[in-house]
């Protein structure tokens, strides 16, 4: 399997960039309202992704996308926005080294939602990993 087509390769890069996001955001949100910081971040993401799509010739006509796809992409966008707003507010008042790991309770929630809503299956070993992530986040909250 080619490295670029391995899910774990992209997931590890995502983790790396998420870690950098927390560090950069913590410094960046220090002297600005957290909602304004989220807005600036969103503009940067929109411009960057637009340039990538242009460079790769990947823009598609909105008419090519089904109504169901639009619905779930809009819902995903709304959830992302809500997540970012909450994340930046947490970073404004808390330590990045605590906020980011607690934010990763999303790992536990995705596992539960994936199983209950999408019919995915996890092995006992995989559930153990999910439980450890949850336990770690709870320990951070209790100790912080």
**Is 118 domain-assigned?**
yes
Q: Is 99 exposed, middle or buried (0-12, 13-18, 19+ CB in 10 A)?
A: buried
pLDDT band at 3 (very low <50, low <70, confident <90, very high): confident
pLDDT band at 1 (very low <50, low <70, confident <90, very high): low
Q: Quick one: CA dihedral 67, 68, 70, 71, positive or negative?
A: positive
Domain holding 132, by residue range, is 104-144
Residues 82 and 14 in one domain: yes
The predicted pLDDT at position 60 comes to: 73
Residues 80 and 118 in one domain: no
Residues 20 and 45 in one domain: yes
Contact yes or no for 37/28 (Cβ under 8 A): yes
Contact yes or no for 89/34 (Cβ under 8 A): yes
Residues 89 and 125 in one domain: no
Percentage of the chain modeled with pLDDT above 90: 79
**Is 90 domain-assigned?**
yes
> What is the reported pTM?
0.83
Token reading at 88: 């930046």
Residues 64 and 121 in one domain: no
Residues 43 and 84 in one domain: yes
Q: Quick one: CA dihedral 117, 122, 128, 130, positive or negative?
A: negative
- Nearest alpha carbon to residue 34 among 84, 80, 97: 84
Q: Which whole number is the average pLDDT over 45-61?
A: 90
Q: Which whole number is the average pLDDT over 19-28?
A: 93
Instruction: For residue 120, give the 3-state DSSP assignment.
Output: coil
Between 118 and 6, the higher pLDDT residue? 118
The predicted pLDDT at position 64 comes to: 78
Residues 11 and 58 in one domain: yes
Reported as a single tens digit per residue, the pLDDT across 66-122 is 899 999 999 999 999 999 999 999 999 999 999 999 998 999 999 999 999 999 999
Q: How many domains does the chain have?
A: 2
Residues 13 and 81 in one domain: yes
Residues 79 and 139 in one domain: no
Contact yes or no for 109/137 (Cβ under 8 A): no
Residues 112 and 68 in one domain: no
Percentage of the chain modeled with pLDDT above 70: 99
Kindly report the number of other CB atoms within 10 A of residue 29's CB atom: 24
Looking at every residue in the chain, the average pLDDT score rounds to 92
Angstrom distance (rounded) from CA 110 to CA 104: 10
**Is 99 domain-assigned?**
no
């Amino acid at each position: 399997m080619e490295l670029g087509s391995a899910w774990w390769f992209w997931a590890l890069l995502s983790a790396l960039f998420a870690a950098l996001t927390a560090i950069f955001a913590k410094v960046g949100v220090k002297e600005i309202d957290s909602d304004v910081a989220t807005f600036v971040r969103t503009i940067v993401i929109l411009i960057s992704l637009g340039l990538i799509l242009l460079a790769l010739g990947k823009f598609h006509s909105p008419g090519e996308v089904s109504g169901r796809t639009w619905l779930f992409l809009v819902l995903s966008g709304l959830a992302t926005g809500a997540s970012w707003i909450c994340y930046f507010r947490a970073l404004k008042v808390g330590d990045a080294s605590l906020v980011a790991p607690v934010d990763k309770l999303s790992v536990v929630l995705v596992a539960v939602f994936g199983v209950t809503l999408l019919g995915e299956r996890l092995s006992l070993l995989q559930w153990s990993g999910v439980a450890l992530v949850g336990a770690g986040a709870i320990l951070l909250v209790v100790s912080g």
